[in-house]
Copies of this chain bind each other. A is one copy, B any other.
């Protein structure tokens, strides 16, 4: 391994001091035409030339050590292989890149222990801030982040007693819109598929469903929410669907795309005609929704805005060393393919 080029090498080669090299390297990005350090144009050019010739790469570690800023953000999501979080990841990465930050991603798979492991390893890596989608039992870890004074923004879920900014969807309103689509068609025998998991996004969606159903005059005892364990969506959903049909359910709303997909598969295999024999409203994206004619309407989260807000708040905390503003940013969902 040919020893990496350092500013010292450049200084030697160009016959100047390392300080000068450092100055020049940091001015590279002519920020707003204002140069903090004035260096002789000739010297500057010579240094830049040498740097290029020697293929100089600044050492990140040294820079971080000295400046104390790593410009790395850790994002701890639920499951990066799920489309929704995949899109979140992509947006975060892009937006962070533009701001000059690098993102580190990790999946919790809804397991508090894994979340803790990931968070600790990220801290080890010297992340400057965190964006976290909490899961059941993760409060301790989140508090740990706070205690370490590492900026933190919570995303997607808000039922965590930690005083940090939280960016979430207005889940109640979102599901109300979903129910509305079905109610608007005159349907009343509407049921919901949800997770057993108790996190605010899910609970709020359930609450929204309950609220709207009550408003529609449905008797509380007739409001049906079916809860399925996260780990066995496919099987459990498949087993449950026939029962729904047997009971003559007319409409179904879903708390997540995975639930919707599992149900649609089963319904389709049973020969049930979507949006005819039964009416559905999905949540989040899936290629499956668009398969049918008419397409299955679904609730779309404003992923770009969610990521934008989360990152903005985080940068605020990181850059302005602001006191932990415990704000709740709530964004509205939109309905796709409303019929």
Check B268 against A126 for contact (C-beta < 8 Å).
no
Range, interface on chain A? 35 or more
Which residues of B sit under 8 angstroms from A97, Cβ to Cβ?
117-118, 121
Which residues of B sit under 8 angstroms from A79, Cβ to Cβ?
90
Interface residues of A in 117-131 (CB under 8 A from B): 117-118, 121-126
Asked if A64 is at the interface (CB within 8 A of a chain B CB), the reply is: yes
Could you tell me the distance in whole angstroms from the C-beta of A93 to the nearest C-beta in chain B? Answer: 6
Taking each of A122, A147, A269, which has the highest tally of chain B beta carbons within 10 Å of its own beta carbon? A269
Question: Within the assembled complex, what's the spacing in Å between the Cα atoms of A133 and B102?
Answer: 19
Which residues of B sit under 8 angstroms from A102, Cβ to Cβ?
104, 121-122, 125
Asked if A229 is at the interface (CB within 8 A of a chain B CB), the reply is: no
Check A81 against B72 for contact (C-beta < 8 Å).
no
Which residues of B sit under 8 angstroms from A105, Cβ to Cβ?
89, 93, 103, 105
Q: Decide yes or no: A83 and B80 within 8 Å by CB, A123-B57, A268-B293, A287-B287 being known contacts.
A: no
Interface residues of A in 83-102 (CB under 8 A from B): 83, 86-87, 89-90, 93, 97, 102
Asked if A65 is at the interface (CB within 8 A of a chain B CB), the reply is: yes
Number of copies: 2
Check B80 against A93 for contact (C-beta < 8 Å).
yes
Check A58 against B124 for contact (C-beta < 8 Å).
yes
Asked if A26 is at the interface (CB within 8 A of a chain B CB), the reply is: no
Asked if A339 is at the interface (CB within 8 A of a chain B CB), the reply is: no
Which residues of B sit under 8 angstroms from A288, Cβ to Cβ?
287-288, 291
Could you tell me the distance in whole angstroms from the C-beta of A181 to the nearest C-beta in chain B? Answer: 21
Q: Decide yes or no: A126 and B59 within 8 Å by CB, A104-B104, A149-B2 being known contacts.
A: yes
Closest to A271 in B: B293
Q: Decide yes or no: A81 and B83 within 8 Å by CB, A124-B57, A124-B58, A125-B72 being known contacts.
A: yes
Taking each of A1, A123, A287, which has the highest tally of chain B beta carbons within 10 Å of its own beta carbon? A287
Asked if A277 is at the interface (CB within 8 A of a chain B CB), the reply is: no
Check B90 against A81 for contact (C-beta < 8 Å).
yes
Task: For A106, give its contact among B2, B93, B106 (CB under 8 Å).
Answer: B93
Q: Decide yes or no: A89 and B83 within 8 Å by CB, A57-B148, A126-B61, A265-B290 being known contacts.
A: no
Question: Within the assembled complex, what's the spacing in Å between the Cα atoms of A265 and B147?
Answer: 51
Asked if A70 is at the interface (CB within 8 A of a chain B CB), the reply is: yes
Check B1 against A149 for contact (C-beta < 8 Å).
yes
Instruction: Map CB proximity to B onto A123-160 as digits: 1 under 8 Å, 0 otherwise.
Output: 11110000000000000000000011100000000000
Given contacts A97-B117, A102-B125, 13 further A-B contacts (CB under 8 A): A1-B149, A58-B124, A62-B65, A80-B86, A80-B93, A81-B83, A89-B89, A90-B107, A97-B121, A268-B291, A268-B292, A268-B293, A287-B288
A residues within 8 Å of B by Cβ?
1-2, 55, 57-62, 64-65, 70, 72, 79-83, 86-87, 89-90, 93, 97, 102-107, 117-118, 121-126, 147-149, 261, 264-265, 268-269, 286-288, 290-293, 321
- Sample (13) of A-B pairs whose CB atoms are under 8 Å apart: A55-B148, A59-B65, A60-B124, A80-B89, A81-B83, A81-B87, A82-B86, A89-B105, A97-B121, A102-B121, A105-B105, A265-B287, A268-B291
